[in-house]
Structure 1
Amino acid sequence: MASEPQGGLTEYIQHHLHHNVVSLGDAPFMKIHVDSILVAFLLGAVFCLWFWLMARKATSGVPSKGQAFVELIVEFVDTQVKDTFHGDRRTVTPLALSIFMWVTFLNAMDLLPLDAPSWTVKTAAGVETAHHTFFRWVPTADINTTVGLALVVFFIVLGHGIKAKGGLGFGKELMTAPFHAHNPVVVAILVPFNFLLNVVEYLSKPVSLAMRLFGNMYGGELVFMLIAGLFAGWISFLPGVIFNTAWAIFHILIILLQAFIFMMLTIVYIATAREHH
């Protein structure tokens, strides 16, 4: 439950939209969102540690509940990769699994209480100005995080395309597809159009990945902020709990769906990049 908003609902929401920023310069790209990086790194470490421990304890006999759950996730992801990508899956399946689990973990931070950071600082350190402690839980509600994830996928897709077709083959495809011609003069005329269309297609992929994930998680976070701000205080405690619980249950579907979509689009982009036109 949120604490009583100071200065009204608008100020309460604006406060929770601030990141914990460390500035290394005046340029916008020199401002580092420490909260997003810290939470993303910790959740990535938790995912790796969890699956590593399960792998170490794995047995060929009757699996434990933890092992069965992990195996269920791995088989689910591998099935999606096998149905979409018809090639060597030894690197694609681990990538898809990492994306799905990591993005799920990042999205799931939206289910934690909004005022937990300020409450923690106030309780642990006795700081009365903890209301001004900026720390956002949800890395995927930060455009920098989603753009970073999308750019990594973008370069991986380019790498797969170059590996499958070779540097010259990849460059040739950029110039000669999707409009093909046999006449050298026509080919030369079509080169600028083919190149422009391919560049737009490639650049639209990271933009689509980043904006879709960011938009859904940012919107979900705003709804939690509105509910928390509207139903703050002890008088409206019960209605606040009911509305927060209802939205949280629905939001779980969004959390899993967005992670699944991000994973599936990555697989589709890799499969498309390896196809010869």
Structure 2
Amino acid sequence: MAAHGELTPTSYIQHHLQNLTAQVGEGSFMTLHVDTLVTSLVMGLLVVMLFWLGTRKATAGVPGKWQAFVEIMLEFVDKQARDTYHGASKLVTPIAITLFFWILLMNMLKFIPADFIAVPLSWVGVEYWKPVPTADVNATLGLSISVFFLMLFFALRSKGLGGFTKEFLTAPFGKWMMPFNLILNIVEWLSKPISLAMRLFGNMFGGEIVFLLIWVLGGAGLLGLLGGATFGLGWMIFHLLVIPLQAFIFMMLSIVYLSLSEDSH
């Protein structure tokens, strides 16, 4: 990677927003975003390890600090899931826990300045590395498509193939309006995963751009350094709320969609 002094602000931002890719076939569809895949996997494994550490020495007596924290967080997510989902499935709470904590840890990578990751990687020949997986629309679409298939699973398990097909064709206007029902239901079902993905991606990608702009400002002399530090601190404090909020919204909407998929119109 070229030294930052040789990069214009625009090229600096473009450089940090470019993914490390690997081609596994012909066409753009066969291009893998290696940084997104690797970082997402690492964050997922980190979630598992952190919870395992909380349960490794679990006790029914006075819990340790980490065990207490894990129990509080799990009880919080479990309560939200139970209050929102009104079906009988026992899968909803594990799904909610996985979504919330996995997305939370991926979002928290935003707190690490981009150069703290990119520069060391450039020393070993890695030219590009986009550190925040949820700032990549491929990652958020992957999560939302997984939720979409879970919606189908919940709907088919609750209503059966016949009941699901009948409702898809006859609700909400009745059997005489079947073409309109079909169009409306297709739009409704497809809009849910797309809105889930774009909401999370838009917030994380926009925040990433602002962080990079502030980082560029910090390199413009002493005044820029003071301004960058001030704005950076303020934007980071703001993201202390945004980052968990976006993970919470994704989790809650996913639970709502799973609940709605089981309801009859």
TM-score (norm 2): 0.94
The aligned counterpart of 2:136 is: 142
The aligned counterpart of 2:236 is: 248
CA distance in 2, matches of 1:65, 1:200: 47
* Aligned partner of 2:169 among 171, 175, 193: 175
CA contact (8 A) 1:228 1:240 kept: yes
SS of aligned partner of 1:134: coil
Residue 89 (structure 1) shift: 4.8
The aligned counterpart of 1:220 is: 207
Residue 17 (structure 1) shift: 1.2
CA distance in 1, matches of 2:185, 2:152: 12
SS of aligned partner of 2:6: coil
Residue 52 (structure 1) shift: 2.1
Residue 117 (structure 1) shift: 2.7
Deviates more, 1:134-143 or 1:245-254: 245-254
1:5-44 equivalent positions in 2, closer than 5 A: 5-44=5-44
> In structure 2, what residue type is equivalent to 1:169?
G
SS of aligned partner of 1:248: helix
CA distance in 2, matches of 1:7, 1:157: 46
The aligned counterpart of 1:229 is: 216
Q: 1:147-174 deviations in whole A, cap 9, x for unaligned?
A: 0000000000110000000111111110
Give percent identity, aligned residues only.
47
CA contact (8 A) 1:4 1:233 kept: no
1:10-159 equivalent positions in 2, closer than 5 A: 10-121=10-121, 125=124, 133-159=127-153
> In structure 2, what residue type is equivalent to 1:244?
G
Residue 113 (structure 1) shift: 1.1
CA contact (8 A) 2:134 2:140 kept: yes
Residue 5 (structure 1) shift: 4.4
Q: Where does the alignment leave 5 or more consecutive residues of structure 1 unmatched?
A: 181-186
CA contact (8 A) 2:156 2:164 kept: yes
Please tell me the root mean square deviation across aligned C-alpha atoms, in Å. 1.6
Q: Moved runs in structure 1, 4+ residues, more than 6 A? A: none
Q: May I ask how many residue pairs the two structures share in their alignment?
A: 262
CA contact (8 A) 1:5 1:229 kept: no
SS of aligned partner of 1:71: helix
Q: 1:235-268 deviations in whole A, cap 9, x for unaligned?
A: 3433322221111110121111110000000000
CA distance in 1, matches of 2:217, 2:227: 10
CA contact (8 A) 1:4 1:232 kept: no
The aligned counterpart of 1:184 is: none
CA distance in 2, matches of 1:5, 1:267: 47
CA contact (8 A) 1:140 1:213 kept: yes
> In structure 2, what residue type is equivalent to 1:220?
G
Residue 118 (structure 1) shift: 3.1
Q: 1:89-144 deviations in whole A, cap 9, x for unaligned?
A: 52100100110000001111111011123321356x5x7xx7xx200110000010
